[in-house]
C-alpha cells in the first residue's frame, strides 16, 4: 500500500513539474530556448547546440528543431548562412570565420518535435538566439 501511494505521489509531483501544457489539443511550452554548448566558429567552423528549458541548465535530449544559422562580423555584415536539421548537436560550417563577431539561430517553425513521441510542442513564436563570440 505504501509503495502504491509513493508511486502515485511521485507521478503526480513529476506531472506538476512539467512545463508543457495541453492547450486546445496542442502541447505548448513557451519556455524552450537554444543553448550553445560549445563553439569554434573562429577556429574550426563548428557550433554545438541543444534545446533547453527556460533555466538553460540541461539539454532536453529528445527535443529537436530545424534552424537557420547566420554568422556576422562586427559591422553586421553577413559572412555565412546555412541550415541545421537539429537532429545532431553539431553544425559544421564550410570554413572557420576568424572575423566572426556573433551568430544567430532561428527555428524554422514555432514548434519543436519530441523525437520519442513525434508530437510537436508549440511556442508563441519560433525560438531565436543571438550569441556574441568571445
Can you name the residues that pair with 46 across neighbouring β-strands?
92
Residues 6+ apart with CB under 8 A from 73: 79, 99, 100, 101
Q: pTM score, two decimals?
A: 0.80
pLDDT along the chain (134 residues), means of 10: 48 44 85 96 97 91 95 98 92 97 97 94 96 96
Residue spans of the domains in the chain: they are: 20-132
- Using only C-alpha atoms, what is the Rg of the chain? 18
pLDDT computed for residue 123 by the predictor:
95
pLDDT computed for residue 103 by the predictor:
98
Which top CATH class is 20-132?
mainly beta
pLDDT computed for residue 22 by the predictor:
76
pLDDT computed for residue 16 by the predictor:
34
Residues 113, 122: Cα–Cα separation, whole Å: 9
pLDDT computed for residue 2 by the predictor:
56
pLDDT computed for residue 12 by the predictor:
36
Residues 29, 112: Cα–Cα separation, whole Å: 10
Residues 32, 20: Cα–Cα separation, whole Å: 10
Amino acid at each position: 500500500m505504501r509503495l502504491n501511494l509513493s508511486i502515485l505521489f511521485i507521478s503526480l509531483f513529476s506531472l506538476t513539474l512539467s512545463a508543457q501544457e495541453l492547450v486546445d489539443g496542442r502541447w505548448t511550452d513557451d519556455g524552450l530556448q537554444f543553448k550553445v554548448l560549445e563553439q569554434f566558429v573562429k577556429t574550426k567552423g563548428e557550433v554545438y547546440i541543444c534545446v533547453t528549458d527556460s533555466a538553460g541548465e540541461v539539454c532536453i535530449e529528445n527535443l529537436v528543431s530545424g534552424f537557420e544559422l547566420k554568422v556576422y562580423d562586427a559591422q553586421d555584415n553577413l559572412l555565412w548562412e546555412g541550415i541545421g536539421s537539429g537532429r545532431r548537436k553539431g553544425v559544421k560550417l564550410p570554413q572557420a570565420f576568424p572575423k566572426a563577431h556573433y551568430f544567430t539561430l532561428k527555428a524554422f517553425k514555432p514548434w519543436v518535435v519530441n523525437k520519442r513521441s513525434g508530437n510537436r510542442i508549440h511556442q508563441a513564436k519560433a525560438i531565436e538566439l543571438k550569441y556574441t563570440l568571445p
